[in-house]
Structures are given as structure tokens and as C-alpha cells.
Amino acid sequence: MRILQVITSLHTGGAEKLVVDITRMLRTRGHVVDVVVFDGTNTPFMQRLRETQCKVYNLSTGGSVYSFSYIPKLRKIMKDYDIVHSHNTSPQFFVALANLACNKVIVTTEHNTTNRRRNNPVWKPIDKWMYNRYRKIICISDQAEENLKNYIGNYYDSITTIYNGVDVAAFYQAKPLENVKPNKFIVVMVAAFRKQKDQKTLIDAMSLLPQDEYELWLVGQGDCFEEVRHYAQSKGTQQRVKFWGNRTDVANVLHTADVVCMSSHYEGLSLSNIEGMSSGRPFIASDVDGLREVTKGYGVLFPHEDAKALAGIIQKLHDDKAYYDEVAEKCYQRAMMFDIEKMVDGYEAVYQELMHSK
């Protein structure tokens, strides 16, 4: 099959990582898979994508991801592919519009359980029109599927769920970084600095723990980076909060830490959630949609924005070795249920089904 993935950019994020991984793995299975990016800024993910030898179409560099000029460009590219698969909001709309003149099989993935657009009633008829253009809408978690059906209507039988996946073995077998770990209990969070994420609650939790025993590592970049960095300073935690920026060695960073945490306001199905569990470390998460369904019964959940409860969980994992080992083992067993091969099998099956029903 000839498959085209379309995404806003290849900056940090779960959707971006999924596009890189699925492109690499489907190409090893013999498919032609290429990628359109609206913003072709060079990033670590872009470098990894180019290593697959796929064709990358850059529609702009550093410009807006909302430009009607992308529609004719997409039409010209889409005509050479069997399946066109969009990710994130602007590609969803522009692929649907471009396909009015192409009549290709188009697929999209919903990467979150909700978004701010759904709170504005003006968008609802536009969204319903857009989703109705797609032959298949793939959600990355059960909660994401339920929320989408509640939003646009249960009659959409084109909606299905394929869980996100990661290369569990690669994360489990990774080696710790050398000569970087202080003699402290390290908590790490890997996430883009966006409004959706909640690094501030984790910083608040660190301020409640003994300064000489704990350190927080925050990995990622994003629009809220400076805001969060200044927040850490305002809480007097700047000496024990380390900002790593974007990293290509996340698996090694996770293995260097003692505990992995995801503090967030909502998620789809977080790849960082599964990666953290794959590392063999205990995983802590906010009790919110998208994190709850993967973590509950395996890792440890804390009430949304409750820094005191989070600090208590971190301290218990520090103090109780038996509890630490029990949670770590449960997390690893849970991660095995989300291995990347299962995810790619699911996407490949959807593509083949749609090709056979053309």
C-alpha cells in the first residue's frame, strides 16, 4: 500500500512520535509510507523520520499551521497515495477539504480525550461535517472514543480504537545515563510544556519534600516552558528542578530516574505513560481521562492538582522498598499490553480493510 501521513509538525508530542514510529515500522513491512508536515522545522523527531528514508513534504518552515494555501498542495501530493492519514486539528480539516477534489480513502486519529474546540458550540457543526468526510476515525483510548461519540453522535460506526504503543523492550533494556545522577531520589516527567500538562503541581509537590533528598527532572519543550521555569523559581525550587529540554535519549533518562510521573489535566492515551511503565520504574499519574485507564490498578494515581497527595506517594515510594518494587513490576506488566507491534498491526489492518472495501 501507498500511505501518506499528514501532521502539523514534528516537534515534541505523542502524535508526532506515533507518526515517526508507524512510518518506520510500516516501511519495514513493505509498504510505501511518506509524510506531509505543515511546519517542516528541523527537530529530533524530523531527524529520526528522515532516517527511515521516507519522502518528507514540508509545506512551510516555522509558519502557521492554518493556511488555505495547503489545500492545493495537499491535493497534488494526495493523488499518488492509496490511504491518506491525518493527525491533529489543522491536518484533519485541510485533508478533508483537499479530498473533495481527490476522492481518496482518508483516515484520521484522535490523539486526545477532548480539546478546547469542543467547548465552543460554533465548532460542532463544522466538526461533524469534517469527521463525516473520513472513512475511519481512530481513537487512541476507550475514553477518547466515548467522548468523541458523545460529541458528534453515536451513529458514527466509522469510529474505532487502537491503543497507542511503544517499543517496550527498548525502554526496558535501556542503560542509565553516566555521571549525571546526584545522590538524590529522582522524579522525572517527560512531556511537552503545554496548557494540557500540569508540571506546576509536580513542582508544588517537590516543595513539600525534603530538599536534600529529592530532585525533579522535567524533559520537554513548548509554549509554556518559560512560564513553568519562572514558577519553579517563585516556589524556591529552582535548585532541585532540572530542565532538560528535548531529548532523543528519553529511555536512558527514564532509567536514570527513580520514579516516573505524568501530571496532566487530560490525555488521550499518553505514550509517555506507557514509556514510563516500560522503564521498570514505578509510574505515578494524575487521576484524569487518558491516564486513569492505563494506570489504575498498576501504577499509582493521585487526585488532579493535589500536590500534597502526590508528595505523599513519592515519599512512600522512597521509604518503602517492597512497595516500590511491587509497583514497578505491575507497571512493566501493564506496559507489555501496549507493545508497539500490536499498535502497528491494528493500523495495518484498518488500512487493508479500507483498501478491500473501496
Three-class HEC string of 25-39: HHHHCCCEEEEEEEE
Residue 348 sits in a domain whose CATH number is 3.40.50.2000
Are 161 and 182 part of one and the same domain? no
Per-residue pLDDT averaged across 9-35, rounded?
A: 94
Are 87 and 222 members of one domain? no
Look at residue 155 and tell me whether its pLDDT is greater than 70. Answer: no
Locate cell 513542582: which residue?
Answer: 203
Same domain, 51 and 122: yes
Question: Burial, 116: exposed, middle or buried (Cβ in 10 Å; 0-12, 13-18, 19+)?
Answer: exposed
pLDDT confidence tier of residue 231, bands split at 50, 70 and 90: very high
Same domain (yes/no): 317, 347: no
Q: Is residue 113 predicted with pLDDT exceeding 80?
A: no
- Distance, CA of 297 to chain centre: 21
| Span of 23-37, 82-96, 103-117, 233-247 with lowest mean pLDDT | 103-117
What integer is the mean pLDDT of 214-242?
A: 95
Residues 201 and 346 in one domain: no
Average pLDDT of the residues in 115-143: 88
Summarize the confidence of residues 150-177 as an average pLDDT.
88
Give SS3 for 272: helix
DSSP assignment string, 160-203: EE----B-HHHHHTPPPPSS---SSEEEEEE---STTB-HHHHH
Residues 298 and 348 in one domain: no
Poorest-pLDDT segment among 57-66, 70-79, 161-170, 264-273: 264-273
Residues 136 and 234 in one domain: no
Residues 207 and 331 in one domain: yes
User: What is the extent of the structural domain holding 13?
Assistant: 2-165+339-356
Least confident window among 148-152, 208-212, 279-283? 148-152
**Residue 5, all three cell numbers:** 501521513
| Mean pLDDT for the chain overall | 93
- Number of independent structural domains in the chain: 2
Query: Both 270 and 224 in a single domain?
Result: yes
- 210 with 315, same domain: the answer is yes
> Are 188 and 161 contained in the same domain?
no
Same domain, 21 and 140: yes
Rounded mean pLDDT, 65-80: 95
In this predicted model, which residue has the larger pLDDT, 97 or 266?
Answer: 97
166-185 tens-digit pLDDT = 899 999 999 999 988 889 99
